[in-house]
Amino acid sequence: MKIIIIGGGRNETSTLQTLAETTSIEILGIVIEPYDEESIELAEAFNIPIVHDCGDLSEKTDIDLIVDLSEPDGVGKKNCDRKPVGVDVIDRSTAKLLCRLLQSESRSTYDLIDKLTREHWSLYEIGISLSSAKDLAEVSQKIVEQATVLTNAPASSLAIYDEEPDEMYFSASTGFRSGIAIQKSWKPRENGLTNYILNHKGPVTISNMDNHPEFHNPELVSEGVKSLIACALTLDEKVVGIIYVDDFNPRDFTEHDISIISLLSTYAAMAIEKAKLLEETRLLSITDDLTQLYNHRYLVQQLLTELSRAKRYQEPLSFIIMDIDNFKQYNDTHGHVKGNEVLKQLAALLKKVSRTYDIVSRYGGEEFTIVCPKTNKQNAFDFAERIRRMIENTEFPDAHTQPLGRITVSIGIAGFPDDTRDPLGLIDKADIALYLAKGSGRNCVCAYDEIEDTAM
């Protein structure tokens, strides 16, 4: 809008300033008295042309409005009579109302810009924070927490896509009672919600789940989810996972919410891939290539950690070591390729039968170990005996050629605090028990005993 201002004076300085600062208004000129120093100074500050007679502006044909800020008997009366035909004039009271509206609009615009600036700065900080996270679990938790903050939503979750089994699994969630948080993994159904999100370009919004029976999901129903935004996380056209923002009430998510999640998903995808790469690199350094069990170095590190924890909380800990009986003979007869198959099969069995917090390792060659936190020696003995029987009854290739007619193991056990308080001492004493098991005809379990150690 192009305007001409008439008059001003000390009392109208704020009105003049508001009009001058409003970007949607262009002031073509101001008609003021020569003695009105404050208005002259303000006009000069905003580069507004100053005249003392409206006639100097009457030839302008692009004037939309004249704003008369003059006193009743001031410059306004004579100058407004000389205005261009068809141009409206508003007085001081109307001008003040206009300025209040402009100030309100400017405040709203400023608030919006401020909000956007803070949110995008938050996204930048999130990117920095995610890049410094130590592992995938930490990255995942930061993502879901920020997703709820940025969208003012009560819940959020993050699912990671695992290519090899073609499965999704939840790596983090916040705001849920239990169901979604503990579900381990699932395969995307052809017509299911997960598959729809993965194949949809950009975020998916559902304002009311009741209106989408085709996406009926028992876990979402049990948690009471009524609406959601979901966005596939991709990096270089590779699917990384899905971020979900959930509400327990029907909700029309705004374009702003959708934009924020879309931006967050970009940071999230990069951070997840980086965390996965770091974990894979770390895993390679602590894992035995053949069996995918932990290696000897990691075993020693974790034994130190677990033994320190056992001492601090005064809890028992047991160490199990086992050796495949007559394994050299098996390798000599059938070759190392088949021998490796036996090692891998046995390793998979040990992982399957052990608890999640047990530390199963390949100690070297045909020897395997299990660190059993919070386990006394008697319970460890029972566990080892169960393992021995399971291996004895498992079908291994060409096992019938072995001296005992099957693949068997000898097992030794030592415990904290009964046998020693020293980690290396625990390994030594379990090894002594293993030697006793070998000397007792193999395919048996022996626990360390101080008397037997002395007798040797």
What distance in Å separates the CA atoms of residue 131 and residue 135, rounded to the nearest whole number? Answer: 10
Annotated catalytic residue, options 280, 366, 395, 452: 366
Establish whether the linkage from the previous residue to 423 is cis, with ω within 30° of 0.
no
What distance lies between CA 368 and its chain's CA centroid?
36
Contact in structure between 396 and 405 (CB atoms under 8 Å): no
> What does DSSP say about strands 50-51 and 26-31: parallel, antiparallel, or unpaired?
parallel
- Verify whether residue 138 is a known catalytic residue: no
Contact in structure between 315 and 372 (CB atoms under 8 Å): no
CA-wise closest residue to 81 among 91, 93, 73, 89: 89
Residues 6+ apart with CB under 8 A from 447: 377, 380, 381, 412, 413, 414, 415, 433
- CA torsion through residues 139, 141, 147, 149, sign: negative
The first and second tokens of residue 185, run together, are 């993994």
The first and second tokens of residue 217, run together, are 């999901």
CA-wise closest residue to 202 among 173, 237, 233, 244: 233
Residues 6+ apart with CB under 8 A from 52: 31, 32, 33, 34
Give catalytic residue positions: 366
